[in-house]
């Protein structure tokens, strides 16, 4: 497994894109709205891993709820896996709580599943598999 990306919840996506373009000295490599999750995303390629900025597209988006509760900041860490179904089964057997029992469509051509932060030292962990 390697870190595929770190997801950061932001209030103003356009503003944060320009901030991260300055920090990383590269331009945003991908923009994508995920309608089902009510998020607007922007990716920056940083070596093998990416930074994913996440903005809410609606007041009832999970990202908006996160920001209302905790403010802007790191929202999740995503690990790339070869077979997400196998990893979900393996981690359930290890006693982890999955936020979704079957993989769902995420941004950036991925199938994704999340582990509940109560089992992961407070970090929302995303498993992701690139759709071939
Ligand atoms: Co993510």
Distance 61 CA to ligand 1 centre (A): 14
- Is a pLDDT exceeding 90 seen at residue 63? yes
Q: Are 16 and 40 in contact (CB under 8 A)?
A: no
Instruction: Name residues with Cβ closer than 5 Å to ligand 1, which is an ion.
Output: 7, 52, 78, 126
**For position 1, what pLDDT does the model report?**
86
- Is a pLDDT exceeding 90 seen at residue 93? yes
Beta-bridge mates of residue 98 = 115
Distance 106 CA to ligand 1 centre (A): 7
State the Cα–Cα distance between residues 54 and 32, nearest whole angstrom. 10
Distance 34 CA to ligand 1 centre (A): 11
Distance 94 CA to ligand 1 centre (A): 23
Q: Are 47 and 33 in contact (CB under 8 A)?
A: no
- Confidence bin at 101 (pLDDT 50/70/90): confident
Whole-structure pTM value: 0.94
Q: What is the mean pLDDT of residues 60-75?
A: 96
């Amino acid at each position: 497994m390697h870190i595929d990306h770190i997801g950061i919840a932001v209030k103003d996506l356009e503003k944060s894109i320009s901030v991260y373009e300055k920090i990383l000295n590269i331009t945003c490599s991908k923009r994508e709205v995920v309608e089902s999750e009510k998020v607007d995303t922007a990716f920056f390629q940083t070596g093998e891993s990416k930074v994913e900025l996440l903005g809410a597209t609606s007041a009832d988006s999970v990202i908006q709820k996160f920001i209302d509760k905790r403010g802007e900041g790191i929202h999740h860490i995503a690990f790339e896996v070869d077979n997400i179904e196998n990893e979900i089964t393996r981690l359930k057997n290890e006693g982890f709580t999955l936020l979704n029992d079957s993989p769902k469509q995420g941004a950036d051509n991925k199938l994704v599943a999340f582990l509940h932060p109560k089992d992961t030292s407070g970090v929302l962990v995303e498993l992701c598999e690139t759709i071939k």
